[in-house]
Amino acid sequence: MSRLHPRAFTVSVVWTLLLLWLGSIVHATHSSLACPDWPTCNGTMVPVMTGGVFWEHLHRLVAGGLVLMWLLATWIARRETRDRPWIFKACLAGIALLLFQAVLGGLTVLFRLPPLVSTAHLASGMSFLALVTVLASRTAWSSEAITIPPDLAPRVRRWGLAAAILVFVQCVLGALVRHLHAGLACPDAPLCLGRLIPPLGNYLVVLQFAHRVNAVLVAAALIGLAAWALEVHAPRVVKVWASWAAVLVLVQIALGLITVLTRLAVVPDSLHTLVAAGILAVLVHLTTLGWTATARSAAEPAPVPDTV
């Protein structure tokens, strides 16, 4: 019998990516306070959808839709995964994350964009993306893990997790750069203030430079992961997802350069966030495949030795 919870989790991954992208557009178009009140917008739930109100209220509507979608996914998972209670518990954690993110979104508006709250808002969104990707990977796409040999699975899990953590840190740094208005602290690229290592007397320059240095580390890690997958002749699924991570990080670096050189133009700036979220999802998926393959290997009965 066909089950619905894997599809619900997959839809939630795509929906979350869309929401993160819309949130980036809201900031890039300076629409964050187009609705200066919350949860209403200019005193109504059905404002005139023009200008910045369009982007800000659309972001809120999509966020509300994600909450409803996740409540439905949780209800379906509760019915269909009674034999795996950890899935329902993870769904409840997802509800808590969404509610926390909604509160942070409200505080961001009511307190007029405090940088730390806005940064926490994005970090919680990325955390929710990671959670729903794990659930989708374990239910909708877990068959891909069958091809990963038991001796390779732990390394896929470890390297994927390390890379995902590094990318998450980079996302938080990027959020700080954005919300502290440090995006043009280094108005040139790839150099910073005309130097490879700029003067570090200004905290905005330090923050922007740290974001760029960590971007190099992320790129090295993901390209190295793809090279390792090819070198050890990993299964096709590992090569494909590791290669996707490497390609996306190169696209991300190009978008970062274009964002600076175009002085934070809306299209590259918003796509910069979307691609970062995509990289995180790819790495979490790869990590989960390694975890699934390891768990399956541990669950298999040990071979019975031959007796004379």
| pLDDT for residue 246 | 98
Structure tokens at 297: 């290997």
What is the predicted pLDDT for the residue at 294?
A: 87
Q: Which helix (H) or strand (E) holds 13?
A: helix 5-28
pLDDT tens column, 20-50: 999 999 999 999 999 999 999 999 999 999 9
The candidate with the shortest Cα–Cα distance to 80, out of 141, 14, 8, is 8
Query: Could you give the percent of the chain with pLDDT greater than 70?
Result: 95
Q: In whole angstroms, what is the distance from residue 295 CA to residue 230 CA?
A: 24
pLDDT number for residue 299: 60
Q: What is the model's pLDDT at position 141?
A: 85
Low-confidence ranges of the chain (pLDDT < 50): 1, 302-308
pLDDT at position 167 is 98
Query: In this predicted structure, what is the pLDDT of residue 303?
Result: 42
Give percent helix, percent strand, percent coil of the chain, each to the nearest 5. Answer: 75, 0, 25
pLDDT of 14: 98
- Measured distance CA(176)–CA(186) in Å, rounded: 15
Say what the pLDDT of residue 143 is: 85
Which pTM was predicted? 0.94
Asked if 211 and 173 count as a contact pair (C-beta separation under 8 A), the reply is: yes
The reported pLDDT for the residue numbered 300 is: 54
* Rounded CA separation 146/69 (Å): 30
